[in-house]
Amino acid sequence: MARAQQVDFLVMGAGVAGLRAAVELADHGDVLVVTKESVGESNTHYAQGGIAVAMEGEADVALHLSDTVAAGDGLVYLPAAHTLVEEGPLRVTELIEWGAHFDKENGRLLRTREGAHSLPRILHANGDATGAEISRSLAAFAGAHERIRFAEWTTVTGLVAVDGSVVAVDLLDREGLPQRIGARSVLVAAGGAGQVYSDTTNPAVATGDGIALAAEAGAELADMEFYQFHPTALSLPGVPRFLLSEALRGEGAYLRNDRGERFMERYHPLLELAPRDVVARAITREGMGAEPGASRVVHLDMRHVKDIDLHQRFPGISAFLARYGLDLQRDLIPVRPAAHYLMGGIRTDLHGRTSLRGLYAAGEAACTGVHGANRLASNSLLEGLVFGARAAQSMLADGLPLLAADAPEKVPAHLTAGEEERLENVITGLQHAMWMYAGLLREEATLREGLAAHAACEAGLAQFAQQGRGTRRLAEAHAMSRIAQAILHSSLARTESRGAHFRNDYPHRDDERFLKHSVLRMHEGREEPVEFEAW
């Protein structure tokens, strides 16, 4: 049996968390960054609003902490939140030193406000392209390091665990050929899983691969019921759910129902700047109706905002809307919620360590408890910087040996055109079922409908068993199925409403039973019952 290729450190994902970790690791060994498409294609790239950071001293940091905890609806793990807000200023300062350009006025960083923030603390770049600028600057800085290599258009299909330790990763390269890469340690920083829902702001790459593969290798997952639905995605027939940044409401946008009424006063004293979960459910009730298929429309209205040039402030959004004859300064913009961000993920400590030796996680793929039940707007990019660096520091501190691993035994079979079409039908069925049955408003009956749809998905995937995971799309389908299963089981187990998880049949918080985090484990390839633990 041939031996696998080897590298010191392997990073899965080229968003903010993965690239920040790679930079930290590169002075101590060879780093391979694996990404399914080009380095620039990630959830990070599409982040519009900005990065939240308190750079004005201890009082500013304390207020950022308070806002983070309040948004998390009682479930924020305080040590994680402390870490985020206290280390955030240093990480953002580093990023600026490495070439990131944030918007300024008269030499000072511009700051804006978003939902559930008590004051303006959001840095932005090129108006509404903050994620793209952070991705660009980190990729350029990492790419200049001689010990960092990138494997683009490469899909991770498995984590190789031996005696409870992850020692290698299985890949399909850009030609579809299998490889196995041994590593001292592996970091999963592959982002979220928005593609498990039919309506999502996430790019096509966000299929939850890293989370699913970690679970199958034996790592614990946590808080998978908490999926954040962004309140304002563009709602036009046949048009992708393009994100309309929370910064629009930070600059004064109103939400109006089909009668032209501002309605947020009925739901929260902060009106349009209420926490995302509150705004998303309000729009669902006002604009999508109580029944599936209801078609009432909610609009985002900026026609009254006269003190800023909206085209200059939001150039990317303005250009996208112009393709469909819409203008922020002139028109009501139809909006609806869409799946946006997973608060749960691979359970880690504050240093990125998972329950498996040799496996680490950071960014949206990880669950430290920092966001609790609902992420505060624009904390995600900061999380990637802070915990990407921390995970890398743990990988270095742990100093694990490089263990030998065998190469893959055979080339997996590929799919015919007919099989590819059947596979897409299976995926589409799962995505629509998850939106219908495990979306913003849940209850036992609909969640069980979701489980039935998931069982149908698994049966549909079984027909491809002989191909293993021989194509990227098949690997993604298996990942989405695993993520859907975890969301459904966790949502059924939490019989209360908290943050982004709302149960029509249990509409209130139950702190006595559920002021805890859900934990999922797998044994011999099967999920064990959901447990709840206080961290």
- CA 114/CA 130 separation, integer angstroms: 14
Query: How many C-beta atoms lie closer than 10 Å to residue 253's C-beta?
Result: 26
Answer whether 490's CB lies under 8 Å from 451's CB.
no
Nearest to 131 by CA among 43, 243, 190, 47: 47
Label residues 338-347 b or e (16+ Cβ within 10 Å = b). Answer: bbbbbbbbbb
> Rg (Cα) of the chain, in Å, rounded?
22
Sequence-distant (6+) residues with CB within 8 A of 416 are none
Compute φ and ψ for 6, nearest 5 degrees.
-135, 150
Check 241, 256, 276, 503 and give the catalytic one.
Answer: 276
Annotated catalytic residue 357: no
Which residue spans within 413-535 are E strands per DSSP?
Answer: 517-520, 522-523, 526-527, 531-533
- CA 174/CA 430 separation, integer angstroms: 27
- CA 500/CA 278 separation, integer angstroms: 8
- CA 126/CA 48 separation, integer angstroms: 10
Answer whether 292's CB lies under 8 Å from 436's CB.
yes
Query: How many C-beta atoms lie closer than 10 Å to residue 534's C-beta?
Result: 7
If you ran DSSP here, which 8-state letter would residue 260 be given?
A: S
Q: Which residues are catalytic?
A: 276
